[in-house]
Structure 1
């Protein structure tokens, strides 16, 4: 059993090293000409626009449910008027960015892993290398950059939609005017709430993109490997989202932005 554990530990450390080398290769390649702008914009469309509906519906329900569930506790303490402020801070700081990143890890991470995995096992990537095209530049760099850019955009839209869901939730059993609700929301928020929440979503997007590309780019064992790459990409990317969020919270606390 100890020997098995040591083997698994060695494989784990080896995998971390491979991901680190893959990330280093990305940074070395991204600054080299020529840039694949057309493919980058195409990936922005598929990663951003095609994910927006799922993110929007989830964000709306999230804001609505959080408001409805929080009301009884605040009513018990006679603080029902603080509901918009509490919901807005909770959504903007943590819930909306993290849930959006997890949705993207599931949809984008698995999609990239499966797509590149299929291209690897069908030797399309090898064919690109033979034809003189840089497959890493064309396939990996564009997808990682698109994910890094689009996840913050989706998170910002999720913030707005979830706050609107919160407005409807407040008015299900109460009566708060549109102007009063948004006044209380923006009065409770500060740049210390908004800026760290936006900044960490860039790291979420980068982690999702790099893990999805790594798992797919080095996929093996035929169709079975494609499925394993997609599944592993989702698991690892989701785990990294929580780790990055933990680090971001600690840094924000050290900087006194909480």
Structure 2
């Protein structure tokens, strides 16, 4: 892997991942401001409509720029880096990404996700409360107190990594992952929340479940939320869960 600083002042670096991908790195820690910079960079490059770019993949701290493998006469690596640097120029002179809102507007949707914290769903609530020195009610209150940011999608289609949660909810992943978790399981670890969009294995701590479908490969935009969105978890009863679930299944 070759690393290429953008310039002596630009707040990012470039590195090559194979012949058809460039990684732009904006930092090395999970931080909303760094993530916002990656998201805004994705928007700037998308708006430039470069025909040889096939996909843009923002993550916690980086942006993956994927090139069409069969595009005729793609730019040389140095030319590509110079082009990307020019496109990202609006971000280069801002130490605080929030001060640069005039240059590019990041998505600011608020997505509300109903969650049932009934013990039959929140199978790890007691363990979480004990580990964090809280009551189960306090765990639920902290988990629903404020919106969290969707940093990225990964692991499975439509699975968002959301945070950062209240420091009092700091707990690591389970020492032994479960082999099967039902779709809609809501889980926390490392001050983040994930919701498993499909039945799958998983090693996070389960606090509840949502009756919503989070990923539908047949209906654009496919995933219920996208990087940059804010997600608010709303408490619902077991009865409300079943009612919403029934409506969801009927629509399907």
TM norm. shorter chain > 0.5: no
1 or 2, which has the higher strand percentage? 2
Higher normalized helix content (fraction of residues): 1
Q: Tell me which of the two structures has the higher relative contact order, counting C-alpha pairs closer than 8 angstroms and 6 or more residues apart.
A: 1
Give the TM-score category using the shorter length.
under 0.3
Larger radius of gyration: 1
- The two structures have a TM-score, normalised by structure 2, of 0.22
**How high is the TM-score relative to the length of structure 1?**
0.22
